Structure 1
Amino acid sequence: MQTLTLTNLVADYGEQRVLGPLDLAIEPGQKIALVGKSGAGKSTLLNLMHQRWRHTGAALMPQELGLVPSLSVFHNVFMGGLARRATWYNLVSLMRPFRRDIDSILPLLEQLDIAEKCWTAAGELSGGQRQRVAAARAIHQQSDLLLADEPASALDGPMAVKVMAALTEAHPTAVLALHDVELALRFADRVVGIADGQIALDQPSERVKTQDLLALY
């Protein structure tokens, strides 16, 4: 993966400027936490990143998760790997999954403590369970770059840590929009603070203290 850059990026809703202009460069191997209060522009920035870089195969974990409620947990996770398979293969798997795919997805579900729901429809799950399924789907995509919007917001402390660890270990480079300051400092090596659509802070996480980030909220 090459350095990814955004130059003079702006986003407008109608006549209202909601983001930018801003410049940002993401180096391969960086784990970046986007922090800031709701409405600051974090989600908009992530969506624009995905539009710009989706051709690279970037994995997106949106805040609304994007699961198909009528499909099983297995098939929702399997969808993360659709681009690696022929269309006929994906259609057959929808009716009768191949053992090789079950064997690759089950350990991932076990890692995220959701394996017992493998054949349950996603629409029957709790919010935290759905979030873990979306995380598994992102990991199954096997991308070098993860763009995730509040990937652990519906999870309790230990499970949030487990999911964050799995996501950051699976993706060499990641940009993570987070409200949880402790998770941001624990799992990111660079923190970018967004306020009123602008970059208000951009520092290595080792130079940032909790109170520095709380000032953005």
Structure 2
Amino acid sequence: MLALDGADLGYGGTPVLRGVRLNVAPGERVALLGRSGSGKSTLLAALLASAAPDRRVALVPQDATLVPQLSALRNVLMGRLDDHGAWRNLRTLIRPSRADRQAALADLARVGLAPEADRRVEALSGGQKQRVALARALHRGGDLLLGDEPLSAVDPRQAEALAATIRDGFPTAVLALHDVAIARAFATRVIGLRQGSFLFDLAVADLDAARIEALYAR
């Protein structure tokens, strides 16, 4: 589904990760672990760029990229804007049809935010904004979800439930995560990034305490 074959990855001509060889197969749930600056976001960006044009990819970026002046519901509706032309999209954002509104409400309900549907995003908490971004990705749907710390602003119990929602909503997913327990519960495969290189790439069942300690050691 996704493949990188010996790529040097970075920004502005400066490599962050060198010689990356990575394949993600359909049905895999991959967790990316590592300290801030280890290359997780860079790797996700490269995976997004490598997706075939016929793949429908949903994205939850780290900064959520929501429109703060619009309601949560209208931000969710934006998940399908590239399915239609400009006039249809404008009409949907101004006055959603009953069917479109119900579909967006259903996705907000999946992340526990249906009561906040008509509130402006700028009035929501950080955790609520993350959940709106996830609801937008669920509304988009597709073969694959790429998420950059999509659960970092919610509490652990809520994060576990939302990870299960992602697992149920997408056949394949690659998530950068900061919580090892959530990664263990969610992933089939885990990749550890440290100082611009892969420290490990293994089945989640093989992730032991020694590897976690090495990954996060000062």
Cα pair distance change 1:31/1:12, threshold 3 Å? closer
Unaligned runs of 5+ in 2: none
Deviation at 1:88, TM superposition (A): 2.2
- Please, what TM-score do these two structures have when normalized by structure 2? 0.93
Distance 1:131 1:188, change over 3 A: same
* Cα distance in 2 between the residues matched to 1:20 and 1:185: 27
d(CA) in 1 for partners of 2:143, 2:12: 34
Q: For the residues of structure 2 that align with 1:50 and 1:42, how far apart are their CA atoms? A: 12
4+ residue stretches of structure 1 with deviation over 4 A? none
Q: Is contact 1:9–1:21 with CA below 8 Å preserved after alignment?
A: yes
Secondary structure of 1:216's match?
helix
Whole-angstrom CA distance in 2 between matches of 1:215 and 1:93: 50
Equivalent residue letter for 1:95 = I
Q: One-letter code of the match for 2:138?
A: I
Q: Residues 181 and 210 of structure 1 are in contact (CA less than 8 Å); yes or no, is this contact kept in structure 2?
A: no
1:76 alignment partner in structure 2: 75
Q: Write the deviation string for residues 95-137 of structure 1: whole angstroms up to 9, x where unpaired.
A: 1110001111212212211111101111111000000000000
Compute the RMSD of aligned alpha carbons.
1.5
After superposition, the Cα gap between the structure-2 partners of 1:96 and 1:54, relative to the gap in structure 1 and judged at 3 Å, is: farther
User: How far, CA to CA, are the matches of 2:88 and 2:99 in structure 1?
Assistant: 12
**Partner Cα separation in structure 2 for residue 214 and residue 125 of structure 1:** 36
Normalised TM-score (structure 1): 0.94
Gaps of 5+ in 1: none
Q: Contact conserved, 1:68 with 1:122, CA < 8 A, in 2?
A: yes
Give the fraction of aligned pairs with identical amino acids, expressed as a percent. Answer: 42
Matches within 5 A, 1:27-46: 27-46=25-44
Q: Residue deviations 1:125-172, cap 9 Å, x none?
A: 100000000000011111111110011100001211121111121110
